[in-house]
C-alpha cells in the first residue's frame, strides 16, 4: 500500500478550506454613495440641541438632543449619546446610546450599543452584548418620510418697506 502525505502548505486544499468555510466569501469593494457613508461628524465633547434634517451620512460621537431625520446613514459612535422622540434614517448603526424610537430600513446595534425605545425596520441585526429595551417591529417595506427644506424667502418678502413708499416724507 502506497501512502502519499502532502503537507497542507503545499496543497491547494488549504486555500480552498479557508474560503469554503467562511460565512461570507471575499467580495470586491463596492463604491459607496454619499448616502451610505459618513459625510459629517459631531465630535466627542460637542453637545448639540436642536433638530437635524438633510441627506448624507452623520457620525455622532458627542451628545445630541433633538429630532433626527436624515436621508442616509446615522452612526452613533461609542461615545455618542442621542436623546430624541424619533430618529429616522435609511440606515442606523448604534455603538453608543439612543433614547427614543428609531425608524429605518436597516438598523444595527453593536455590542456596546444601548437603545431605550421602539424600533421599526426592514432589516435588524445585533451583536452579542447589545441592549434594547423596547419593541421591535419588522416590516416588509418602510416608506420613510423626510421633510424637504423650505425654500428661502426672497429679499422682497423679507425686507421692510421704505418710509417713502408708505406716503411718509423723510425728515
Q: pLDDT tens digit string along 52-75?
A: 999 889 999 999 999 999 999 999
The residue extents of the domains of the chain are 35-140
pLDDT of residue 147: 67
The per-residue pLDDT for 148 is 57
Q: Which residues of 13-42 are buried (b: 16+ CB within 10 A; e: fewer)?
A: eeeeeeeeeeeeeeeeeeeeeebeebeeeb
The burial of 67, by beta-carbon neighbours within 10 Å (0-12 exposed, 13-18 middle, 19 or more buried), is given as middle
Q: Is the pLDDT of residue 121 over 90?
A: yes
For position 31, what pLDDT does the model report?
45
> Which of 29-33, 42-46, 157-161, 162-166 tops mean pLDDT?
42-46
**Which range has the worst mean pLDDT, 91-100, 103-112, 162-171?**
162-171
The answer on pLDDT for 131 being more than 60 is yes
> Mean pLDDT over residues 111-117, rounded?
97
pTM higher than 0.75: no
Amino acid at each position: 500500500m502506497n501512502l502519499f502525505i502532502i503537507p497542507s502548505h503545499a496543497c491547494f486544499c488549504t486555500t480552498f478550506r479557508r474560503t469554503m468555510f467562511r460565512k461570507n466569501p471575499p467580495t470586491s469593494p463596492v463604491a459607496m454613495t454619499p448616502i451610505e457613508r459618513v459625510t459629517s461628524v459631531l465630535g466627542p465633547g460637542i453637545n448639540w440641541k436642536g433638530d437635524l434634517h438633510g441627506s448624507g451620512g452623520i457620525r455622532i460621537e458627542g451628545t445630541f438632543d433633538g429630532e433626527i431625520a436624515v436621508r442616509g446613514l446615522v452612526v452613533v459612535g461609542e461615545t455618542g449619546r442621542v436623546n430624541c422622540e424619533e430618529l429616522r434614517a435609511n440606515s442606523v448603526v448604534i455603538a453608543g446610546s439612543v433614547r427614543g424610537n428609531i425608524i429605518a430600513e436597516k438598523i444595527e446595534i453593536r455590542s456596546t450599543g444601548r437603545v431605550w425605545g421602539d424600533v421599526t425596520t426592514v432589516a435588524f441585526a445585533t451583536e452579542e452584548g447589545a441592549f434594547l429595551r423596547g419593541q421591535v417591529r419588522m416590516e416588509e417595506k418602510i416608506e420613510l418620510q423626510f421633510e424637504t427644506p423650505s425654500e428661502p424667502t426672497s429679499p422682497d418678502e423679507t425686507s421692510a418697506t421704505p418710509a417713502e413708499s408708505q406716503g411718509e416724507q423723510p425728515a
